[in-house]
Structure 1
C-alpha cells in the first residue's frame, strides 16, 4: 500500500464502515452515510492529527492511557531496542528479561512495597478477571466457602463476565441473561458496615476504584472511604481489591491512588497508563499472603489456570519500564503538583458559568457537570 492511498480519508471511512466493528458503539449510527468519523494518523505530545491534516488536543489521553504524551522519544527508543531483540515469546514455561525487570520495579513501587507478585494480562478487564479468579481460588485453597464479591454502585471494572458483574452489568442483561458472576453492588461504606455477620462471612473480596469512580462521571469518594473499606475488610476477614486501572501512574498526583490514604490492598489491578498508552498490557499485583497458598499447593490441579497468548509481552513490558524511567528521571510526580494546581485554577474560572453546576477534581482527573 502506498502512502497516498493510506491517507485517502474517504476510502478509509468507507472500508471502516464495511469491515470494522467498534466497541461500545451503536453501529447503525456509525455506518449511517452522514457520519464521518475522524481518521487519526499522527500524534505528538498532547496533540493528534487526522488524515486531513487537522490538529486536535487529545482531551481524554486516548481513553486515559497516554500519560507522557504521544511519541515520547525515550519510550519509542525502548520499544525499538526490544523489537531488535525479540517482539514476543511464550510466557508459559518461559520468562523474559523485560517482564522480570518490570515486575521487580512494580513490587518496589507498590504501597509500602507490600505487593510482591505480578500476574500479567492484556487489559484492565482481564486483569480484574484475574483478580477475581485468584481471590476465589485463594479461598478454596484456604478451605473457605467465601465466594461473593462486593462492589459499589456506579463502579466500572471492565466488560468481561466477571468484571462486568461488579458494575455496569445492566448494559449486558437485555441481550445475555443469566451470565453474571457471584457479585453484588452496595451504595456506600454505610451499607457495607450494615451487612450482617452472616453476609459478611460470605464475602471473598470488596472491589473499589480508589478515590474516584471514573466511568461513572468522575465521582469522588468522600475522604477516608478507602481507609474505611480497608478496615472493614480486616474486621470481616475479606480481601480488598483496588482497581487502579484508571487512577494508577500519577493520575491522582501520586503513583497510586491508594497512597493518599496509605491503605494497602491485597490485590492491585493496573492497566491503561502502565505502558504510557503504547501497547496493551495489564497486571494484577498481589501480596505474598495471597500468593502463598498457590506456592505451597502441591497438587497440579490447584494451579491458577488463567492466562493469554500475549501474557508478559516483551514489547509491552519494555514500554512500561521506559515509562517508569521517565517518571524517575524527569521527576514527573514532583512536576505534576504545579500542573494540578494550574488545572484547579483554570477549572475555577469555569465555575460561574451558567452551564456548569459542579466541578470535581482529583489530582489530574477532573469532571465538569
Structure 2
C-alpha cells in the first residue's frame, strides 16, 4: 500500500499530541482535520481541500489568516526585538499597545497574560487583592452568571458554570456564587428579553444585599454568553449590574475575551450599555488571531491601591512571556486595521447579506430559536441526539465548512472578510449539513 502522508500525520498526532477540549478516543472514528496552510477565510488540508473557517479558529481570527499587514508588522518586529522580560524592562510595542487600549476603554494600566483564562485569573486576583490592600480582606468571593464561562484554570473555573468543564476538578475549586442568567431564551412566558434582564438584575440585587461585604466582584460576558450556546441578553442587564455594583461596592468585570473587537456590532460589547466596567478582560481577537495574548485593563483607582513602598502590596502575578513584543506588535497591527476602514460598518453590510442568504435556515422546521448579534449567529436545533454536534461537524466538513456546534446549538462566528462566494457557501453548506445530520439521526 502506498505511503499516505496525511494518514501518517493523523496517526502521529493521536500518538503524540493531547488535543484540547476533546475525548481523544473519538478521533479513532472521527479523524482530525490535518491543516497544511491557511489564507484569508480558508483553511487548506494536506490533500489540498479547502474549508471555510466559519468559527474563526475558536473565535480568534478577525481579518483572515495570513493578513499581509499583520504579517509585515511581525516581520519588522522580529528584526528588532523578539522578546524581553517585562519585569524591570519595557519596550515600545507594549507601551504603545497599552496606550491604545487605555484610550479605547477609558481604563488605565494594562496587565498582560497569554490567554483568556489567564486574563480571568488576573482580574479576579486583582479585585480581591485591591480589597485586601484597602483593609477589607473579607471581600474575597466572586459571583458569576448561570451558564457563564470564563476559562478552565482553577481560578477561572470558580466562576464558570458549565458542569462538564468543572465537575472533575470540583475538589480543587473555590466556587463562586451564581446569579440567574439574563439569557433571553429563559424568560418566563409573556416576559420580554428586557423584562427578563430586569428580573435577573432584581435577583442579583437581592443577593448583593445579603453578601456584598464578602463579595469582591461580579464577572459577566457582556451581551453574549458564548459557551452557553451563544446565549444573548438585553443590554439593560449590564446597566443595572453596573449600578448595583456601584451601590454595593463590588467590582464589575467585563469578560470581553470572545465578544470584543467588533463581534457584537460595537468594538466592545459593554459599550452598547453605555457603561464602563472596573475591569475589562481581552484576548482572542486582540492579535487578529495571529499570536496568543491577553490583557486586563482596570481603573486608576484600583491601580493606585497597589502603588506602595511595600512590595507585598504590589500585584506580583507574572509569567515569562508577559507583554511579548511580537504579540503586542500583532495587536497594534490589528487595531490599525480598524483605524484604516469602517470595519463595523462593513460588518453590518456583511451580516445583512448573510441574513438574506440564511432565510431557509432561519425558517427550518428543526430550528427552535434563531438569533444574531453583530457577527454572531446561533440556532437551537430540535434534536435529542447526544451526538448531534459531532455528526454535524463531520457533515459540515463535507460541505467545506469548519463548524463545531455547542451541544444542539449551531452557530457561526466567522472572520469579517468573507466575500459573496464564501457567504453563499456558508449559508448553503450549513443548511445542507443540517439536513444530512437530521436525516441520519
Q: Secondary structure at the match of 1:204?
A: strand
Q: CA deviation at 1:290?
A: 1.1
Task: Give the equivalent residue in structure 1 for 2:14.
Answer: 17
Contact 1:351–1:357, Cα closer than 8 Å, also in 2: no
Q: CA deviation at 1:196?
A: 5.7
Equivalent residue runs for 1:1-369 within 5 Å: 8-30=5-27, 32=28, 34-110=29-105, 113=106, 115-144=107-136, 145-168=138-161, 170-171=163-164, 174-187=167-180, 188-195=200-207, 197-295=209-307, 297-369=308-380
* Alpha-carbon distance in structure 2 between the residues aligned to 1:356 and 1:169: 23
Q: Secondary structure at the match of 2:36?
A: strand
Task: Deviation per CA, 1:47-74: give whole Å up to 9, x if none.
Answer: 1110110011001000000000111100
TM-score of the aligned structures, taking structure 1 as reference length? 0.93
Q: Report which stretch shifted further, 194-203 or 12-21.
A: 194-203
TM-score of the aligned structures, taking structure 2 as reference length? 0.78
* Alpha-carbon distance in structure 2 between the residues aligned to 1:142 and 1:353: 56
Contact 1:347–1:359, Cα closer than 8 Å, also in 2: no
* Alpha-carbon distance in structure 1 between the residues aligned to 2:168 and 2:208: 34
* Alpha-carbon distance in structure 1 between the residues aligned to 2:145 and 2:243: 16
Q: Secondary structure at the match of 1:350?
A: helix
Contact 2:60–2:284, Cα closer than 8 Å, also in 1: yes
Task: Deviation per CA, 1:150-185: give whole Å up to 9, x if none.
Answer: 100111000011111101463355533421135111
Q: Secondary structure at the match of 2:86?
A: coil
RMSD: 1.6
The runs of at least 4 consecutive aligned structure 1 residues that moved more than 4 Å come to: none
* Alpha-carbon distance in structure 2 between the residues aligned to 1:214 and 1:72: 26
* Alpha-carbon distance in structure 1 between the residues aligned to 2:202 and 2:173: 25
Contact 2:235–2:272, Cα closer than 8 Å, also in 1: no
Task: Deviation per CA, 1:67-87: give whole Å up to 9, x if none.
Answer: 001111000100111111121
* Alpha-carbon distance in structure 2 between the residues aligned to 1:169 and 1:211: 18
Change (3 A) 1:197 1:355: closer
Change (3 A) 1:271 1:342: same
Task: Give the equivalent residue in structure 1 for 2:187.
Answer: none
Task: Deviation per CA, 1:232-256: give whole Å up to 9, x if none.
Answer: 1011110100000011001011110
* Alpha-carbon distance in structure 2 between the residues aligned to 1:223 and 1:239: 18
Contact 1:253–1:340, Cα closer than 8 Å, also in 2: no
Q: Secondary structure at the match of 2:367?
A: coil
* Alpha-carbon distance in structure 2 between the residues aligned to 1:247 and 1:73: 24
* Alpha-carbon distance in structure 1 between the residues aligned to 2:250 and 2:301: 13
* Alpha-carbon distance in structure 1 between the residues aligned to 2:340 and 2:273: 26
Task: Deviation per CA, 1:89-141: give whole Å up to 9, x if none.
Answer: 1111111111110000111111xx2x111000000000100001100100000
Q: Secondary structure at the match of 1:358?
A: strand
